[in-house]
Amino acid sequence: MIRPALSAPARSAIALSAAALACAWAAPAAADTLVDNIQGITIDTDGEVETFTGLVIGDDGRIAKVLSRRDKRPRDTDFHVDGEGRFVIPGIVDSHLHVMGIGLAALTLDLSDTTSLAEAQQKIAAYAAANPGRRWIIGRGWNQEKWGLGRFPTAEELDAAVADRPVWLERVDGHAGWANTAAMRIAGVDADTPDPAGGRIERVAGTRRPAGVFVDAASELVAARLPALRPEDRDLALQKAQDALLRQGVTAVADMGTTIEDWQSYRRAGDGGWLKIRIMAYAAGTGAMELIGGPGPTPWLYDDRLRLNGVKIYLDGALGSRGAWLKRPYADDPGNTGLPLLTGSQLRNLMSRAALDRFQVAVHAIGDAANAEVLTAIDELSETYEGDRRWRIEHAQVVDPADIPRFARHGTIASMQPVHQTSDRQMAELRLDPPRLAGAYAWKSMTGGGTPLVFGSDAPVESADPFAGLAAAITRRGADGQPFGGWYPAEAVGREQALASFTSLGAYAGFAEGRFGRIAEGEWADFVLIDTDPLLATPEELRATRVLQTWVGGERLFLAGEAADD
């Protein structure tokens, strides 16, 4: 007998109430469950592979026993699940994504699949025509590099698609926004508007007139005028995000940039019984950190499904928008070294404020100058803030090779995203010269020096699909198989390391070891049934992995063929 699966939440074009969502996610009664006839794989505390063929899940949702082929099967369990020889791995821990961003992307215009400016214009115009009642057209996902444009798009080009309403579209990396003329008029942005600290307004060549793209902190000039989201909008976005993540085998996430409004939605879901994934939250700045956590990190809530761990701090922008802070100018933009968003004193003050109350600090640093600055700050602050701090650097995308050994000095966690390397490599080759590329996306060098390495997706910037991330990590090749032999292949990691970085190490990075991340007695029964052996499959087979079932806390929350409609 199989443990009853949860019915999928009702989908609706209108926002759903918390009560309705709670009913849709109603959980089955707790009972012992035997999951048998499986090929199980987990990574132990020493980074070694352990295998098993069965699991006993207690009525508390934790793993009561891990069974080998020789072990006798209990006869007194209430439910029996025949895994039909499928592979089982721990639930994926995505160490860097944006929960609300995933959900909101599903509710707004998505340009991530467009391959040219003309295609994007056509899609924008069609979306506006299909949504005549929307006061603003809002979306994300454009990428001028993918379009082969060689420059940023302009307001006039956006006007050609929609001119009668304001339009605001975030770049794929979230570090730039594209506005039409109506949006800039509402925002009051004109030739006299100065660039804000940590931001840049792109200008029409030879003039001060805004061209339509706003980089990093300048984006807020327009974004601040967007209609505010209602609580029910956020709840629906959270529902959408959970659906998407469970379909892909992701059971726990580090939510980077949690606002107080996001946190309240997570709490409503927890109170209503429909918070299903595990969220390790990192507040969007120290202000949100204090509002949410008060005197320190929150306790684990809702059976270890929610905790405020710490704070996310931005030090620089992104490589694609040339906002990443480099030690030397961009190879394709002489004189531009990017945009530090904070001074050294500001960075240290924010990190110190968080560390004082034992909040975990996670700093966004992409350029080599930004990474060096964070590492120096950690060196200095570690003299005052001792103990198990688990400082995190998010992305660690371009690091001076001389600085890589500095990560291990204080156990600083490198939180990286394998799919960024495959998506960005051609752009990175334009932005950086070969000596700097040697320290770009340097996963193997990080682990070789003893740095804790964790992997994520940065969704919705990239797809949350962890199997694409695993394939990229072990091959340094994209879905098209390019480049042959891999891009700087010496920086690929082994399969065991890649799986650990997406599971047990991801839990460690969020102070959650012993709770989830492995398949071990006493930990939550968070696991995924898949149709592929991740340790033996070809990279192509790994990318094509099909998630058959996703379990969290001993409950099956996704079953292939019974998922909610998109």
User: Tell me, what's the pLDDT at 562?
Assistant: 76
- pLDDT > 70: percent of the chain: 94
- pLDDT > 90: percent of the chain: 87
User: Tell me, what's the pLDDT at 235?
Assistant: 97
List the 109-110 sheet strands across, edge first: 109-110, 137-142, 167-171, 176-179, 210-216, 199-203
User: Tell me, what's the pLDDT at 19?
Assistant: 39
User: Tell me, what's the pLDDT at 18?
Assistant: 38
Residue pair 11/564 in contact (Cβ under 8 Å)? The answer is yes
Residue pair 502/249 in contact (Cβ under 8 Å)? The answer is no
Answer whether residue 281 shows pLDDT above 70: yes
- 505-535 pLDDT, tens per residue? 999 999 999 999 999 999 999 999 999 999 9
Answer whether residue 3 shows pLDDT above 70: no
- 133-156 pLDDT, tens per residue? 889 999 999 999 889 998 999 999
Q: In which element (H, E) is residue 265 found?
A: helix 260-272
What's the CA gap between 35 and 44, in Å, rounded?
A: 20
Answer whether residue 463 shows pLDDT above 60: yes
Using pLDDT thresholds of 50, 70 and 90, give the confidence band for residue 423.
Answer: very high
- 102-138 pLDDT, tens per residue? 999 888 999 988 999 999 999 999 999 999 988 999 9
Residue pair 362/414 in contact (Cβ under 8 Å)? The answer is no
User: Tell me, what's the pLDDT at 22?
Assistant: 40
Average pLDDT over residues 374-402: 98
CA dihedral over 423, 546, 114, 13, signed as positive or negative: negative
Using pLDDT thresholds of 50, 70 and 90, give the confidence band for residue 31.
Answer: low
User: Tell me, what's the pLDDT at 42?
Assistant: 98
Answer whether residue 25 shows pLDDT above 70: no
- 37-76 pLDDT, tens per residue? 999 999 998 999 999 999 999 999 999 999 999 999 998 8
Answer whether residue 268 shows pLDDT above 50: yes
Q: In which element (H, E) is residue 360 found?
A: strand 360-365
Average pLDDT over residues 272-282: 98
Answer whether residue 4 shows pLDDT above 50: no
Average pLDDT over residues 244-270: 98
User: Tell me, what's the pLDDT at 72?
Assistant: 95
Average pLDDT over residues 459-464: 93
Mean pLDDT of all residues belonging to the chain: 92
User: Tell me, what's the pLDDT at 187?
Assistant: 96
Answer whether residue 26 shows pLDDT above 50: no
Answer whether residue 482 shows pLDDT above 50: yes
Q: In which element (H, E) is residue 509 found?
A: helix 504-509
Average pLDDT over residues 175-185: 95
Q: What angle do CA 390, 395, 401 make, to 5 degrees?
A: 90
Which phi and psi angles does 502 have, rounded to 5°? -100, 0
Answer whether residue 481 shows pLDDT above 90: yes
Average pLDDT over residues 319-341: 94
AA letter at 23: C
